[in-house]
Structure 1
């Protein structure tokens, strides 16, 4: 089994759409109004062109994806979003490997950022506790739709005084 971590290109848009659409099916069923839950192929293409999107390929096919951009109105740290694992790879550690790669290799070691931010729904039954177990801590909230709250979480990757690796 070969694994390749890389930046998505516009040629990946259709395959990346299938990953995101499949992964966010449960989000749609929960009625959570994440933008990614209703993304179409044009939104995927626009995201690839305007931001940085990473993929984890397993044996030549995209198994997981996560995107990164700046949210200067909220934080100076990189913001991760549209995190998705193809349902066929769910519960196999694929998402953990991609998230760790982006946190450590990209954000900490390449960008030399001291931390990273992501967001999730307060109403989602397991995402918030999962991110908390991975070291993320809530620091900001804002409404998400009429009955939900978007929780922004940050994770420290480089402690003050600690050199980047």
Structure 2
């Protein structure tokens, strides 16, 4: 089995729509207003074009995706790199592929390319296991906010990627 980590391309949009839609089923059931949960093909294409959308392919099939946001709105909450739209295809769940992609993005992109020693992401308090999953992976809550959209309390979490201080490079 061949694993490939890479940036998504527009030609990947239909596969990414399928992976994201399947992976975000619980988000829709919980009634959370996350754009990825109800994304259509145009929104997936926009995400690929505007942000850095990474994928993990297994034998040519996309099985996990994660986005490094380039949106200015996020930078108002934290100047650190921000991860969003993290999804692993449910057919491959509990096999560690999502975690492998997250590790790869943290190490090779955020720390390696950007030189940032920390990364952030957000999740909902009412999700039954996401907060605990990220905390097991070394993320710590540092901000609570209620977006007043029915999602309830959201947590902004950050993770220290290295103990060595490094210069943050932004492009």
Q: TM-score, normalised by structure 1?
A: 0.94
Q: Write the distance in 2 (CA, Å) between the matches of 1:162 and 1:34.
A: 32
Q: Does 1:159 align with 2:163?
A: yes
Q: Write the distance in 2 (CA, Å) between the matches of 1:147 and 1:3.
A: 35
Q: Does 1:109 align with 2:112?
A: yes
Runs of 4+ in 1 over 6 A off after TM superposition: none
Aligned residues: 164
* 8 Å Cα contact 2:32-2:150 kept in structure 1: no
Q: Write the distance in 2 (CA, Å) between the matches of 1:100 and 1:31.
A: 29
Gap regions ≥5 residues in structure 1: none
Aligned to 1:98: 101
Range with bigger deviation, 28-37 or 43-52: 28-37
CA 1:147/1:78 → structure 2, altered by over 3 Å: closer, same or farther?
closer
* 8 Å Cα contact 2:33-2:151 kept in structure 1: no
Indicate the structure with greater strand content. 1
The Cα RMSD (Å) is 1.7
